[in-house]
Amino acid sequence: MTEPDVVDAFTQISPVYDATRAPLDEGTLDTIAAKLHERHVVSALEVGVGTGRIAQPMSERGFEITGVDASPGMLAHARAKGVGRLVRGNAYQLPFRPASVDTTLFVHVLHLLDDPVAALQEACRVGRQGATALVRPPRDDADATGPRSENGPRRVVAEILAREGYPIHRRGGTGGPRRQESRLLRAVPPDRLEVVVDRTETEPLGRRLDMIEMGAARGFLHVPPEVLRRAVIEARAQVSDRTVTYRRVEALATWNRAPPPTTIPIDDGPSEGTPSPPSA
C-alpha cells in the first residue's frame, strides 16, 4: 500500500485496534522503563504512537512522552485516553528540532515502514541519544509446535477469499514482522541490543480470526463485510480449537547515531522459523 493508503487503513481500524491487539504486559513495560532510566532518559518522542497503548503507561512511569502518528483516527483515540502531547506527522519528516528529546522510540513500528533506515536517520536527528526500538531480534531456534506461523489462519482466510474472487495482496518477499525486523537489524546493526522478553507462549489460532472478523486486519479491508464473515466462518471450521506454542523474544535496540543509507535485502523465499507475536 502507498503511504496515504496505510494512513487511511489505520484510521479505519482505529476503533477496534485496542480490542484486537494484546498490550505489553506490566513486566515488559517495567523492564523497558528501567533500561531507559539507566540511560537517564526523561523525554521521548514515540514515533507511531497509535492509540497511546505505550505512551500512556510510559508516562505513568515518569517519562515525558510526545506521540507522533500519521493517522488522525489513531491520534483521536490516544487523545481520548488522556495522552497529552500528540502531533500528527510523518516518520520521515518529524516536525521537531534537532536533539529536541532524549530519545525517539519505536514499538514494533519499523516493520510497517517502507524505508525504516530513513526513519531511523530522522529519529536520530531528533533524539539526543539517538533512536530506540522494541524489535524481534534474529534467532536460529526452531522450538515451535503446531503451525509454523500464527498467520496460518490468515492464509486460510486469504485462500477462501481468493476462491471467492477477492485476492489478498501483500508486499512480495517481505516475510512477517519478525523477519522484516531481523533483516533490518542485520543491515544496520544497533549499538546496543538488550533482550527484555524471552518466554514461551501458547496462543489459540482462533484469536487471529477474531481480529479479521472485527475488521482490524489491514489486508482484508477491501473485502465486503458479508463476504469476509463467510470466509471467517469457514476458516474457523478448519482451524477448530488448535493452538500454537512459540518462543517470544523481544529486545530493545539502540542506535546512538544515524545509520548510513542502506537498502534492506528482500527475502523472496517462504517464511521460515518460529511464530512471532501478533504485529501492530
pLDDT at 31 over 90: yes
Buried-state track 169-178, b at ≥16 Cβ within 10 A, e below 16: eeeeebbbbb
Residue 234: φ, ψ to 5°: -65, -40
Pick from 38-52, 143-157, 160-174, 205-219: least confident = 143-157
Q: Whole-angstrom Cα distance, residue 236 to residue 251?
A: 33
Mean pLDDT, residues 153-170 = 91
- What per-residue confidence (pLDDT) applies to 263? 83
For the entire predicted model, the pTM comes to 0.87
CA distance 34 to 199: 19
- Taking CA atoms, 115 is separated from 118, 222, 265, in Å, by 6, 25, 12
Can you list the domains of the chain with their CATH numbers?
3-140+172-200+248-255 (3.40.50.150)
Q: Is the pLDDT of residue 268 over 50?
A: no
Q: Given pLDDT bands bounded at 50, 70 and 90, which one contains residue 170?
A: low
Helix axes 177-187, 116-126, angle to 10 degrees: 60
Residue 72 pLDDT class (50, 70, 90 cuts)? very high
For the cut 70, the answer to whether the pLDDT of residue 276 exceeds it is no
Query: CA 249 to CA 196: how far, in whole Å?
Result: 8
pLDDT on residue 152: 84
Is residue 279's pLDDT more than 90? Answer: no
Task: Single out the residue of 119, 112, 229, 132 nearest to residue 174, CA to CA.
Answer: 112
Instruction: Render pLDDT for 90-125 as a digit per residue (tens, 0 to 9).
Output: 999 999 999 999 999 999 999 999 999 999 999 999
Q: How far is CA 276 from CA 19, 22, 196, in A?
A: 19, 13, 15
Average pLDDT over residues 184-194: 95
Report helix, strand or coil for 65. strand
**pLDDT at residue 148 above 50?**
no
Distances in whole angstroms, Cα of residue 94 to Cα of each of 89, 98, 236: 6, 10, 42
Running DSSP on this structure, what letter comes out for residue 19?
Answer: H
Per-residue pLDDT, 138: 85
Mean pLDDT of the chain: 88
Angle value at C-alpha 249, between 18 and 6, nearest 5 degrees: 40
H helix runs in the chain, sequence order: 3-20, 26-38, 55-60, 72-80, 116-126, 152-163, 177-187, 206-213, 225-239
- 41-70 pLDDT, tens digit per residue, is 999 999 999 999 999 999 999 999 999 999
How far apart, in whole angstroms, are the C-alpha atoms of residue 222 and residue 63? 39
Residue 213 has pLDDT above 70, yes or no: yes
Of 31-45, 58-72, 138-152, the range with the lowest mean pLDDT is 138-152
pLDDT at residue 2, rounded to an integer: 56
Cell triple for 141: 531456534
Using CA atoms, how far residue 210 sits from 20, 115, 146, 163, 206, in Å, is 8, 30, 19, 21, 6
Through-space distance between the first and last CA atoms of the chain, rounded to whole angstroms: 16
Query: What is residue 175's predicted lDDT score, i.e. its pLDDT?
Result: 64
pLDDT reported for residue 8: 93
What is the tens place of the pLDDT at every residue in 4-22?
A: 788 999 999 999 999 999 8
